[in-house]
């Protein structure tokens, strides 16, 4: 495949067709210079949006029944097409986001890797979740009829691109990959901060759809005003679920719109998290200065624009804790601001840090230096007492960027109380040694009710894409704590169970048919049976 930035049309791709919008235009901007990038992107209106949603509904009937090998090959083809673009994709993403080449090269690998991982899931077929309770005509006092269950795709899915991951949480990112893997067509709303990057990847998906001979409505890429087109997309009756990564305000607005529909639909929104890190005495005593350096590295990486960045760290009172804070004060000036994704995000960071610093009891611990580019504020770390955290909800507000708050605690009881008052989070991290196990064991049950992922002796930034990963958590981390947006379990969001009772063999769908024609792992009368059994 040969796709270059010179081939960018500046238009939506509606069911395989490049379509000029009828509204105003927007440009991507280089956040390092605040200069606009060409081409300008024309924005569609609600009538044009209907072309995408109607086509998705038409495509659903054939796409949801796709034979496993063809389905998996389709996802693999998307990955291959993205890789075939070469350096042009990373270069455009760098220009639109200010993120460094190494970060974006890794993100591209994560994007193609998760597509291939879902292709493996499809080939194995476990997502069908087949269960068979065979008929028991001789059972007393009442016979049992044959009952079979499988999971089917819910229908077309609306996916919203994230600002901070122009590839891995964007056009072909985790929400799109898991929805397509489930058998759901996708209408993707591009983030206006990186429109060129979205179009390049959108072209790669569109080519894979065409080459596989699929209905063109399997994928559409739309550019439009965030409020009006986003709301219209969620309200469209053809859409049956929503994937979103962004702010709490944006996510809750989509949740409200979805709930108000005549047919309410689920919104899987990943929103707000400050990801507490908890130091215990034994761990902190080992090398407070080294821990401070690792902490600052996690706070400042990618300019702090990661949903798992540690915005809150609990540090015990005492000499080791004092040394940790002194080390932050000494090391913070050596850190430098990195270009943030957009001028708007930079302004929100400034407002958030000004608000936090104005709160009673909040003190400055350390500040770095401004970066050399536009929108590159100096990283900053504050501190406060545990009583301030418990009494002032502002101290739990997420600041999207390189900013964090240190809370000193005096006892395990104080720590447990503070953790019990936290909002829902994506992650919590325990820094401990074997000597801290007993103390840590006392807070783990509380953390299990508050977060989706608990780490030991690591840092929350960096999310492995695999089978066991959970990237989710109680509200406001996400809108549904039962799900994950990363890893193979993400496919479950876009599937639902259907039972088939007393069906003639001739009418049974392939996944649950007699003889197991698709060679799936199935649970027969409650007993798991591998392929071929």
Q: Are strands 12-14 and 17-19 parallel, antiparallel or unpaired?
A: antiparallel
Only one residue has tokens 């649970």, namely: 523
| 383, 405 Cβ separation under 8 angstroms | yes
> Does the CA dihedral 268-462-108-486 come out positive or negative?
negative
The 10 Å Cβ neighbour count of residue 530 is 9
Strands 131-133 and 147-153 come out as: antiparallel
For residue 444, give both structure tokens: 């783990």
Question: Using an 8 Å Cβ cutoff, are 315 and 325 in contact?
Answer: yes
Of 522, 490, 513, 512, the C-alpha closest to 181 is 490
Non-local (6+) Cβ contacts of 495 within 8 A are 127, 129, 151, 152, 153, 154, 182
Catalytic residues, by residue number, are 270, 307
**Residue tagged 């390092």 (tokens):** 32
185: Cα within 13 Å, side-chain hemisphere:
31
Q: How far is CA 430 from each of CA 114, 116, 435, rounded to the nearest angstrom?
A: 28, 32, 13
Cα separation, 462 vs 460, in Å, equals 6
64-78: b or e for each residue (b if 16 or more CB lie within 10 Å)?
Answer: bebebeebbbbbbbb
Element (H, E) at 48: helix 46-63
Closest to 367 in 3D by CA, of 333, 407, 338: 333
Please count the CA atoms within 13 angstroms of the CA of 424 that sit on its side-chain side: 18
What is the dihedral angle through the alpha carbons of 346, 350, 352, 355, rounded to the nearest 10 degrees?
-170
Give the pairing type, strands 25-30 and 35-42.
antiparallel
CA–CA distance from 229 to each of 155, 222, 299, 312 (Å)? 20, 9, 34, 35
* Rounded distance between C-alpha atoms, residue 187 and residue 137, angstroms: 47
Q: What is the DSSP string of 444-463?
A: HHHHHTTEEEEEESS-SS--
d(CA 405, CA 33): 30
Query: Cα(66)–Cα(214) distance, rounded to whole angstroms?
Result: 9
């Amino acid at each position: 495949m040969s796709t270059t930035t010179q081939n960018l049309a500046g238009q939506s791709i509606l069911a395989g067709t490049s379509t000029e919008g009828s509204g105003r235009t927007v440009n991507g901007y280089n956040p390092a210079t605040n200069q606009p990038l060409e081409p300008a992107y024309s924005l569609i209106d609600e009538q044009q949006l209907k072309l995408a949603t109607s086509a998705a509904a038409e495509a659903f009937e054939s796409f949801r029944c796709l034979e496993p090998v063809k389905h998996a090959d389709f996802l693999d083809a998307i990955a291959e097409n993205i890789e075939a673009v070469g350096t042009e994709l990373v270069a455009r993403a760098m220009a639109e986001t200010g993120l460094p080449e190494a970060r974006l090269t890794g993100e591209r690998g994560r994007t193609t890797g998760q597509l291939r991982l879902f292709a493996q899931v499809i080939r194995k077929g476990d997502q069908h979740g087949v269960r068979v309770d065979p008929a028991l005509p001789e059972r007393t006092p009442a016979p049992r009829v044959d009952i079979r269950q499988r999971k089917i795709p819910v229908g077309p899915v609306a996916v919203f691109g994230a600002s901070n991951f122009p590839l891995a949480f964007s056009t072909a990112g985790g929400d799109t990959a898991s929805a397509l893997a489930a058998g759901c067509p996708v209408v993707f709303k591009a983030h206006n901060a990186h429109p060129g990057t979205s179009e390049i990847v959108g072209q790669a998906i569109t080519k894979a759809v065409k080459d596989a001979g699929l209905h063109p409505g399997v994928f559409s890429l739309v550019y439009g005003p965030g409020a009006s087109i986003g709301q219209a997309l969620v309200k469209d009756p053809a859409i049956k679920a929503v994937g979103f990564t962004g702010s709490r305000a944006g996510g809750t607005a989509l949740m409200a719109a979805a709930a108000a529909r005549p047919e309410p639909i689920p919104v899987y929104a990943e929103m707000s998290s400050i990801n507490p890190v908890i130091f215990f005495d034994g761990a902190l005593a080992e090398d407070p200065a080294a821990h401070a350096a690792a902490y600052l590295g996690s706070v400042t990486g990618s300019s702090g624009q990661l949903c798992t960045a540690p915005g809150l760290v609990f540090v015990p009172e005492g000499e080791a804790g004092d040394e940790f804070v002194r080390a932050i004060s000494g090391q913070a000036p050596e850190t430098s601001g990195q270009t943030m994704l957009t001028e708007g995000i930079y302004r929100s960071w400034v407002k958030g840090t000004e608000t936090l610093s104005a709160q009673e009891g909040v003190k400055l611990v350390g500040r770095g230096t401004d970066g050399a580019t536009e929108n590159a504020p100096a990283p900053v770390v504050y501190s406060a007492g545990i009583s301030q955290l418990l009494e002032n909800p502002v101290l739990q507000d997420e600041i999207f960027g390189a900013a964090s708050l240190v809370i000193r605690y005096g006892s395990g009881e104080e720590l447990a109380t503070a953790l019990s008052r936290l909002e829902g989070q994506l992650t919590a991290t325990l820094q401990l040694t074997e000597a801290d196990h007993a103390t840590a064991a006392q807070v783990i049950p509380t953390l299990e009710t508050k977060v989706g992922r608990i780490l030991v002796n690591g840092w929350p930034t960096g999310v492995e894409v695999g089978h066991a990963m959970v990237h989710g958590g109680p509200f406001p981390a996400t809108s549904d704590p039962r799900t994950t947006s990363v890893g193979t379990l993400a496919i479950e969001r876009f599937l639902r169970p259907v039972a088939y009772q007393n069906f003639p063999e001739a009418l049974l769908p392939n996944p649950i048919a007699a003889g197991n024609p698709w060679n799936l792992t199935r649970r027969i009368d409650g007993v798991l049976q591998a392929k071929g059994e």
